[in-house]
A and B are shown apart, each in its own frame.
Chain A
């Protein structure tokens, strides 16, 4: 799909949210990826036109950030956290398994265009290690087996639910969420889990609490 006048209008809407329009450049690039799947030369031009920048300035920004892709990713873009927090606890083994199963390396896409892999750094989920992401939704506490199952389910078009609630959607829909342009309808899914509640539950079981104040 190509960028449209609606995309341009939405970019202008994003730019209007900030005291200085250029602040919207990252959200605008996310929005461009939500239409075309990656940052195309046309997207660079449109961002530059909307903000009154040169294409070189926009390209310079886009190329700095790892989430902005200069070529299409797979329909399902799988991130495997290989930072030691996850890597040592199993992320490295998961990476080896998926990379060898799929025959693709870092930032590469399978021939059928279904799956791409990325070696990702810490996702702020070390309590839930090893962690994968599927189009940036979290898959916590993975094993080699569950990672293989995840990839198979996604390739077969089965519904997959993130361990934090939302369904795994396509890459472009996720990018629209990241742009912040509108509500994707998934914001009210409860997502605390045993690990986030570990301390609270322990405290309640052992009658521990914060000293009185008007604790809110």
Chain B
């Protein structure tokens, strides 16, 4: 399938991130269309388009919007999740850097649809270059009359606040994000009630990912049929794929959903010279790893699930034959242990436990029966934690054991650094193999 730049179509223009750059290609024309359609028709269009959330879970966006109760007398809120922190995910940051106005226009349309007069963009704190960019774009949009009171004479008012986080992966979980946005520790809430009913300040709230919202103006402008001409029935539309790892040309590749990984890899120039693909993850460290045998599967929510993985953030990471699977899994478990918020016992205690055990295998001190214990404890974290972080933490080890059990068995005698020279995996020490 060919590449289909839409959100990324004009990023090679030096002013793509400015109001003028965006308007030059029809930017902000979806607003008046949306105001003509009316809020319910906008929700219906997004529902019919089949757009699914691009933040990881793939929940149908229009359906999420339709859960917001109307005429309930309460304020409604739209919160954009720009807390991109999933290991491997690096597509929202470039979108906000190069095309922040698509996000802002999408926010205005989405807020109008769900009848919200306050919207927030929650951006992770570690990216000042993006935070200042979005602040400036919001100011420009405000000055141009796209934000504030009576937008384009529609009678619709919207106040948009850009909010910086402060370093916590868990705030990418939507209810933890809401607690953080309320000025609390970023810990998840029990669901139900879902945010659509009781979200920010206990009012109806939609939380959507950056890329999801950036799709909205293009859907409103070009129509449902156009959007559905990309991708598959269950995974319509295009995707900003961010391809990273041991590939020749890592980067951003926007293509229809359903494009096979093998084609994306071709666009990215293939695995680096002299090496072969060993394992890959379709969308973040929280989804189960796959192997070269899965490389021709279409990148859709349904095909990835059928293969035992998930689409996740749609940001594939590929590792070549120099890479120790044990080392990679150990690194990811370090991460989840560090980021577990501590609210629930399975995740808090379980992560310390599996972290300690997997380190024994990484350093060649594992004992065979501990593989069974690791598997058991992962099983006790999975599905028993308060939020998806626990499930994510319990994912890398069992997935790796499915394909690379021998490497963990070798970890009973041999450190991963001895089995696989770490220097050979770096991108700057070209390989001595």
Contacts and interface: CB of A to CB of B under 8 A. Distances in A.
A191 B96 CA distance: 11
B315 A126 contact: yes
A67 B126 CA distance: 8
Contact of B9 (A183, A186, A215): A215
A177 B85 contact: no
A93 B97 contact: no
B183 A129 contact: no
A110 B43 CA distance: 55
A93 B85 CA distance: 22
A104 B164 CA distance: 29
B29 interface: yes
A164 to B, nearest CB: 5
Contact of B332 (A84, A89, A165): A84
Interface residues of A, number: 86
Given A126-B315, A192-B16, A198-B252, A187 B183 contact: no
Contacts of B334: 82
B328 A88 contact: yes
Interface stretch (B60-68, B215-223, B387-395): B215-223
Contact of A122 (B12, B86, B229): B86
A26 B222 contact: no
B171 to A, nearest CB: 9
B254 interface: yes
B174 interface: no
A166 B429 CA distance: 29
B317 A85 contact: yes
Nearest to A26: B166
A177 B167 contact: no
Interface stretch (B146-154, B240-248, B405-413): B240-248
Given A126-B317, A199-B3, A65 B182 contact: no
A187 B161 CA distance: 17
A89 B221 contact: no
B98 A65 contact: no
Contact of B427 (A130, A188, A211, A214): A130
B167 A200 contact: no
**For B12, B125, B139, B166, which residue has the most chain A Cβ atoms within 10 angstroms?**
B166
Contacts of A124: 84-85, 89-90, 92-93, 124, 127
A133 interface: yes
Interface in B316-340: 317, 319, 323, 327-328, 331-332, 334-335, 338-339
Given A84-B328, A178-B125, A192-B16, A216 B27 contact: yes
Contacts of A184: 132
B404 interface: no
A139 B201 CA distance: 38
B133 interface: yes
Contacts, number: 301
A66 interface: yes
A74 B253 CA distance: 38
Contacts of B267: 198-199, 202
Interface of B: 2-6, 8-9, 11-12, 14-18, 25-27, 29-30, 75, 84-90, 92-94, 97-98, 118, 124-129, 131-133, 135-136, 139, 161-169, 180-186, 201, 217-218, 221-223, 226, 229-230, 238, 241-246, 249-255, 267-268, 285, 315, 317, 319, 323, 327-328, 331-332, 334-335, 338-339, 341, 422-423, 425-429
Interface of A: 17-20, 22-27, 29-30, 51, 60-61, 64-68, 79, 82-85, 87-90, 92-93, 120-130, 133, 136-138, 143-144, 162, 164-166, 174, 177-180, 183-184, 186-192, 194-204, 206, 208-211, 213-216
29 contacts: A26-B166, A30-B125, A65-B125, A83-B331, A85-B88, A85-B245, A88-B323, A90-B428, A122-B88, A123-B126, A124-B84, A124-B85, A124-B90, A138-B127, A143-B428, A178-B128, A179-B164, A187-B136, A188-B18, A195-B252, A196-B11, A196-B97, A197-B12, A206-B2, A206-B3, A208-B3, A210-B6, A211-B230, A215-B9
Given A136-B126, A136-B127, A191-B98, 11 more contacts: A64-B185, A90-B427, A124-B84, A174-B128, A177-B131, A192-B97, A194-B251, A198-B249, A199-B254, A202-B253, A209-B9
Q: Please give me the 8 A-B residue pairs with the lowest Cβ-Cβ distance, nearest first.
A: A198-B251, A213-B222, A216-B26, A25-B183, A199-B253, A187-B136, A65-B166, A66-B167
